[in-house]
Amino acid sequence: MKLSLLLLSTLAVALPIAQQPASEYNQLLDLINNQDLEKRDISGQPTIVMFTDNSTISDKLAHVKAIIGNDHIEKLYDVSSTEKGAGVAGYVGTFSNETLALIADAGCISIFQEDIIVKGLGLEEDLEERDSSIYTTESGQPWHLGRISHLQNPRNTPQASEYVYRTGTRDTNIYVVDSGVRTSHVAFGGRAHWGANFNNDVDEDEHGHGTAVASIAASISKNAQIYAVKVLGPQNTGSLSGILAGMEWAINHAAGQKGQSVINMSIGSDSTEVYKTLIQKALEKNIALFFAAGNNNEDACTVSPARFAKDFTGVFTVGASNLADNMEDWSGYGNCVSMVAPGVAISSASRRGDDVWTSWKGTSMASPIVAGIASYWMSIINFDLPSLEWVLTQSKGLVNTHNNTPNILAWNFHP
């Protein structure tokens, strides 16, 4: 009997264990990664497709199986999640009319639309010679740093060029989804890193918008790590699908970093819903998002992604003010704007050299000012998004706004 039991146990060890079937999430990834490239049609207009919030991984797998039976999915938008498959937000590809009809009828799809061109919302004003110590000293600073660190406007006083701030010790990260960043510029002091490129094959800032935006945020949050996510090219434009890919990358990368993170997107296009899913994924991970309100004197509720600030806690859309605390006439306005911040004559780093400075205007410059203040506060205190929103909206009644724009001016809480 003992011999028989021993023999059975030996046989049990020797017999091969039945292989467990791959999870539905892994099956989905395998389908995407092993598509038939002959089905790829690059002649048409790409279409962005987003899943509904209540779609299960089973729904998504079945849908993708049906799609790639006919066509090719270029990219899956997948935000990392401990619950496998919950982070799959959507996909982009170029599809036949037959496949588009299938997508339109799918119950698991919330929205689909053609890819569009999105542009940066800043204008370079001129080049200027500046001392490289501009980002390392408290005196002799640009006007916008003086303005945000004084409750009352210090214009025409010695305090106008003084940036007053507390020193934080917590790790923070700022993701600049833009035209790239000249990471070697002295403005960053080694804190800027190339993250990813979803526009072309040139891993550098070919326009200058992204370098300027990044340096503005970095000058306020002195210890933040800056990550360049290139989605705009030499003309300061890029595809919506590429911008969504940049958002996805930033959200996933932030999950693996120390400290809290913010994402700045100084870009805009006509109103579209497709940003919504990835915005929600970022907020679920306590990542705040900052958007430019637009530069065409239009209601920010008609601009995306600016329109989403009124829908979510932790999303901020920023208009532009000037040295006299007047909201600029060209700034995006309305109740989709969270606050205004300096947006004219903003001194910033240039892409043209490691010690070259330039001046920009636009809500593209106002947005990273508030993103920088948020990161600055995160370096001092660990914030949840409702608390962060409270801190960022306490400077009230000090700026002349218009068209129902909230009377809130960016401020770092120094008296």
- Catalytic residue numbers read 178, 209, 364
**What is the b/e burial string over 257-290, where b = at least 16 CB atoms within 10 angstroms of the residue's CB?**
eebbbbbbbbbbbebbebbbbbbbbbbebbbbbb
The answer to whether 156 and 147 have CB atoms below 8 angstroms apart is no
In whole angstroms, give the CA distance from residue 299 to residue 226: 30
**3-state SS class at 249:** helix
In whole angstroms, give the CA distance from residue 338 to residue 356: 32
Give the Cβ contact number of residue 40 at 10 Å: 13
Instruction: Determine the angle formed by the axes of helices 209-220 and 363-378, rounding to 10 degrees.
Output: 40
Q: Single out the residue of 230, 221, 265 nearest to residue 122, CA to CA.
A: 265
**3-state SS class at 70:** coil
Give the long-range contacts of residues 256-259, CB within 8 A, separation 24 or more: 257/171, 257/173, 257/225, 258/171, 259/170, 259/171, 259/172, 259/173, 259/378, 259/379
Bond prior to 305 in cis (omega within 30° of 0): yes
